[in-house]
Chains A and B, each alone.
Chain A
Amino acid sequence: MSGYTPHTDADVASMLDFLGLASLDELFSVVPEALRLAGGLDLAAGRPEPDVFAHMEALAAANRPCGRNLVCFAGAGAYDHEVPPVTRALASRSEFVTSYTPYQPEVAQGVLQAVFEFQTLVARLSGLAVSNASLYDGAASLVEAVNLAVATTGRRDVWVSHGVNPSWREVLTTFAAGTGHVVRDIPLVGGSTDWASTAFDDYDEPGAIVVAYPNYLGCLEDLGEARARCDRQGALLIVAFDPICAGILRSPGDWGADVVVGEGQALGMPLGFGGPYLGLFACSLDHVRRLPGRLVGETVDAEGRRAYVTTLRAREQDIRREKATSNVCTNQTLMAVTAAIQLGWLGTSGMAEVALRSARGARYCRDGLLTVPGVEPLTTAPVLREFGLRLPMDAAMVVERLADEGFLAGVALDPSYAGGRTDGLLVAVTERRTRAEIDAFVSTFEKAVR
C-alpha cells in the first residue's frame, strides 16, 4: 500500500469481514471475469517520491525555461509578466487548491468571495457589467461568446477578424463542426482589420463580429468602426481584449462591445507551457441569462449576513441538460482566484504602471530592432506591447539561432500574417525586460540576421 492510503492489513481484514468477503478481489465479482485484467497494468511498479521527483527534475532539465539564460521576447497569447512571491504564496494555500466546486456555500465562502471579487475586477477591466467565474482559456471564451451570439440572434454566421489569435480561431472552427456555425475571415490590411474591402453584404447577416484589441500583431483596432458595422448589421460585437493593455487603453465596454473575451494568463499565472491559463468572459447585463459557466452572486444567509453563492444556476448544463447552450462544468477557479490576488497586488496604480512600462519597453525594443539592416515593420497601425517585424530571412531560423544565444526572440508568424512568406516575427516586451537586456537582444539580433 502506498503512503497515501491509510489502510493497515488489520483494517482491510476487519472491513472485509464486515462485508462478508474473503478478499479484495471479491469486491469486483460483478465485473465479468473475462474482462478483468489478468496480469495487471503494463506500468512500472510505484516508486518512492524522491525517485519520481528526480525523474521529473530530469525532464524539467531538458527544457529551456525563460529566465536569465533565455530572456523572453515571446508573446502571442502567453506573456512573461511579473508574478510576485505574495501571489504565489496566497494562490498556493491548500484551502483554495484542494477544494471542489462550491456546491455547499456555507463552507465555501472563501472561494465564492474570491471569485465574486474576480468577477468585479474583470467587469471593471472590460468595461462591462457582468463577468463569469472563468472558462478554460482565451480560445474557450471565444467559442462560448460565439455560441451566445448565435443563440441570441438566431443567425449562424460570424465574421472573425484575422487579427484574432490564430489558435483561438482554429479552436472556433473545430467546435463549429458540431454547432454548424459558419465562421468567415475578415482579412487584415496594414496590421488591422480591413473593414472597407470586405464584402459583408454578399453573405447572410452575421450574429457576431469578432475583433481583437490589441490584435494578434499587437495593433490597436478601430473599435468605433467595428461597433458601427455591428449596428448596421444587427450583430453582436465580441472583443478579444488583453487584460494588461486594458490598464491604459479605453475599455472594450466603453467602445460598445456586447461581449468581451480574453486570456488571463498575464494576471499572475506562470508561462507553464500553455496551461493552466484563464479564460475571461464578460458581457452586458442584457446577456446574463445566456452567460456560459458559473456566476457568483451576493446574497444573505439565514441571519441576514452578507454571503455569496453560485447563481442563475438554471442556465447550467446539470439543470438544462440537452437544452444547455454550454456544457462547461469544471472551469479554472484557482486561476480566477490567482488573478484576483494579482489584481489586488497591482491595484489601481500598478495596473496602469505595468501596461505603461510594457509599452515603453516595446517601443524601445522596436526602435532598436528597426535599426538592424534588413528588418522592417510588418504593420502600419499603432502598436503597444507587441509588434510584428519582417526579417531578411526565415523567422523560425532566427528564433532558433537566438535561442542558442540566450534569447527567446519571439514567435515566427504564420505566412497568412506576412504576405504568404515565412519571414514575419512577432515580438513582445513586458515590464520585466531591462534596457540592458533589450540592448543585448538588439545587438545579438543584428548578428543573427546578418
Chain B
Amino acid sequence: MMVDDLVPAPPAGGRAASAPLLGRDTEPTLFELSEPGRHAWQLRTTGVPELTVDELVPDAHRRASPVDLAEVSERDLVGHFTRLSHRQFSVDLGAYPLGSCTMKYNPKICDAVALLPGLADVHPAAPSNCVQGWLELLVELEVALCEITGMAAATLQPAAGAAGELTGLLLMRAWFAAKGETRHKVIIPDSAHGTNPASVTLGGFEVVTVPSDRRGCVDVDALRAVLDEDVAGIMLTNPNTLGLFEEDIRSIADAVHGVGGLLYYDGANLNAILGVVRPGDMGFDIVHLNLHKTFATPHGGGGPGAGPVAVSERLAPFLPGPRATLFGEASSRHFGWTTPEQSIGRVHSWHGNALVLARALTYVLVHGNDGLRDVARLAVLNANWLRKRLSQTFDAPYDRPCMHECVLSASSLKRSTGVKALDVAKRLLEEGFHSPTVYFPLIVDEALMIEPTETESLQTLEALASALERIVAEAATPEGARAATEAPHLTPVRRVDEARAARHLVPTYDARPS
C-alpha cells in the first residue's frame, strides 16, 4: 500500500471527530446528584379536595415511606442527561456501518409527524369515530407494505422483528392446525440471525439447520435432504446475512412448497431489494418487516421498533386482530376494526407501536416508488464499492458482488499481526466511525460485517475505507498492533471489562459494593 493512501481523511468525511465524544470525565449517576429537598416536578392546580393518603389508601396497602428515587432540580436533570447524550454515538453524529442493522439517516420530518397532537395524544381505546385518521393511516400503511413485499394483507401489531417472527410462526401453526395437520420442524440456514432459532422454539417447533454452500448460499441439495412432510416451513433472509442474494430462491420455494411447507421471509435485509424484487414474487408466504431499519423510524438506542407481518391471501384469515379496516365507498366511506375469523389473537396490548408506524408511512410517502428503488440501488452500490475497495485490505471469504452489506474477515490480519476483528472495531471508534458488526455471521472467522446504507456519501465511504486501511497498515509494526489491541484511547471510556460485569453483577446502583 502506498504511503499516500494513508493520509488522514478529509474533514468532510462523515466522522464524529467533534469534541463531545472525547469528554472523558465520568458522569455521576442521578442518585449521586441527588440532594434531599430538591425537586423538579410541577403539577397542575386542580382545586380537587385534598384528602390525605390515610383517607384514600387502606392501611394494609399503604407504603410506609415514599419511594426513594432521586431529588434533583430541573437544571441538574437537563445537565445530567445532556452530558450522557454527549457520551453516545449516533447516526446524526457520524457514519454507523453496523452490518445487519441498516443504520441509515432518519429524516427529521418523521419526528415532526410523530409529535402532531392529533396523532400523539389519541387514546388507544377511544371509540372508532374519534380515531378515523389513525385507522386510515394504518390502512394506508398496510396497503403500502403489502405492495412493497408483494403480499395480500398485514398485521401492524408486532412491536419488533422478533415479535414479528414469532407471530409468523404462530400463523404457520394455525395454518396447519386448520388443515388438521401437526408439523414439528422449521428449517433455518446456519447463517441466520439468532432470533430465528429462538422464535422457532417459542413457536413450538424444532429447529433443523441447513448448511451454507461454498457460495455462501443455502445448500439446496442439503435442504432437499431434510425436507419431508413434517416440515412446517423455512425461515430465510434474502439477501442473507452474508449480504448475498439467494439466487436459487425459486427452486428453494418450489421444494418447500412441494412438501406442503411455508416460506418465511426475515425482513432484516429488505433494504437491499426495495422496489427491485419482492418477497411475494420469490415465493414467500409470510414476511416480517423491520420498520426501524428499512424505514428509518429510527432505532432509539435499541428500540422501539415495529415488525409488521405481511402474508399471502391464504394466510390472511389467521392474522391477529383487531385490524383497521375500510368500510363503504364515497360518502359512506369510514374506518373501523375487524378481527379475522380464524385469528391467532392479539400479539400486542393495543395496535402496535403506532407512532413508529406513522413515521414509517411518512418515510414511504416522501420516498415513493422511485425513491424506494433508489434506496436499494444506492445501498447496494455503496456496499459493493466498499467491498471492492476493502477486499485489498481484508480477506473476502465470499468474493462476489454483494447486496446491501458485505462480510469481510480479519483472519489473515490476526494471523500475521495478532490484531483481531474486535481490535479493528475498537480502533475504528476513535477514528470517528461506529464499528461494523463483528463475529457475525457465525460461519465466518473474524467476521467484519459492513453495511454503509444509502445515506452515506462517497466522501464518507472514502474516509471510512481510509481509516480501516490505516488501521491495518499500522498493525504491521508492533507499536501499531498494540495501538489497535489497546484501542480505543480517545472515547469516553477505554475498553470495558465485560467479564467483570458478568462475574460481579451490579445491575442497579443499589447493588454496588459499598
Contact = CB atoms under 8 A, between A and B. Distances in A.
A271 B118 CA distance: 11
Contact of B374 (A5, A174, A432): A5
B425 interface: yes
Contacts of B38: 347
Contacts of A30: 244-245, 247, 400-401
Contact of B198 (A34, A94, A326, A382): A326
Contacts of B421: none
Given A301-B493, A344-B70, A349 B41 contact: yes
Contact of B66 (A14, A168, A263, A352): A352
B303 A331 contact: yes
B81 A431 contact: no
Contacts of A63: 118-119, 122, 130-134
B302 A333 contact: yes
Interface string A320-339: 11111011111111110100
Nearest to A311: B501
Interface string B218-259: 000000000000000000000000001101011000000000
A105 interface: yes
B11 interface: no
B116 A56 contact: yes
Nearest to A431: B43
A58 B124 CA distance: 19
Given A299-B501, A341-B81, A274 B369 contact: no
A391 interface: no
B69 A344 contact: yes
Given A42-B147, A321-B197, A411-B125, A95 B88 contact: yes
A351 B69 contact: yes
A178 to B, nearest CB: 4
The 3 closest A-B pairs by CB, nearest first: A274-B350, A60-B118, A110-B88
Interface stretch (B1-9, B49-57, B408-416, B466-474): B49-57
A124 B30 CA distance: 14
6 contacts: A37-B275, A63-B132, A170-B346, A330-B302, A347-B41, A363-B56
Contact of B159 (A6, A270, A275): A275
A92 B282 CA distance: 39
A361 B46 contact: yes
Interface string B31-51: 100100011111111111111
A121 B112 CA distance: 30
B303 A177 contact: no
A250 B299 CA distance: 36
B179 interface: no
A189 B295 CA distance: 48
B66 to A, nearest CB: 4
Interface in A123-147: 123-125, 129-131, 133-134, 136-140, 147
Interface stretch (B308-316, B449-457, B475-483): B449-457
Given A311-B505, A332-B159, A350-B39, 16 more contacts: A5-B455, A47-B368, A66-B123, A89-B78, A95-B90, A99-B299, A106-B488, A117-B30, A124-B68, A299-B498, A327-B202, A330-B305, A335-B300, A343-B70, A347-B39, A356-B53
A403 interface: yes
A403 B354 contact: no
B48 A137 contact: no
B351 A275 contact: yes
Nearest to B381: A15
A28 interface: yes
Contacts of B249: 32, 35
A120 to B, nearest CB: 4
Interface residues of A, number: 208
Most buried by A among B53, B103, B350, B400: B350
Interface string A350-386: 1111101101110110000000000000000010100
Given A113-B87, A117-B30, A140 B130 contact: no
Contacts of B244: 30
B173 A275 contact: no
A303 B490 CA distance: 12
A107 interface: yes
A63 B117 CA distance: 9
A299 B496 contact: yes
B101 interface: yes
B: interface residue count bin: 35 or more
B456 A6 contact: yes
A251 B62 CA distance: 9
A173 interface: yes
Interface stretch (A155-163, A229-237, A241-249, A440-448): A241-249
A318 interface: yes
A396 B510 CA distance: 47
Contacts of B78: 86, 89-90
Given A178-B170, A273-B350, A106 B494 contact: yes
B138 to A, nearest CB: 9
B423 interface: no
B278 interface: yes
A30 B224 CA distance: 22
A46 interface: yes
A175 B51 CA distance: 43
B82 interface: yes
A288 to B, nearest CB: 7
A312 B68 contact: no
A438 interface: yes
B380 interface: yes
B510 A123 contact: yes
Nearest to A223: B61
Interface in B341-380: 344-356, 358, 361-362, 364-375, 377-378, 380
A385 to B, nearest CB: 10
Contacts of A300: 496-497, 500
Given A35-B249, A40-B275, A61 B299 contact: no
B29 A273 contact: no
A139 B385 contact: no
Interface in B78-130: 78, 80-82, 84-93, 96, 98, 101, 103-107, 109, 111-113, 116-127, 129-130
A98 B355 CA distance: 16
Interface string B269-297: 00001011110011000000010100000
A136 B160 contact: yes
Nearest to B158: A136
A41 B29 contact: no
A250 B61 contact: yes
A270 to B, nearest CB: 4
A297 B345 contact: no
A173 B345 contact: yes
Nearest to B59: A250
Contacts of A108: 88-89, 301
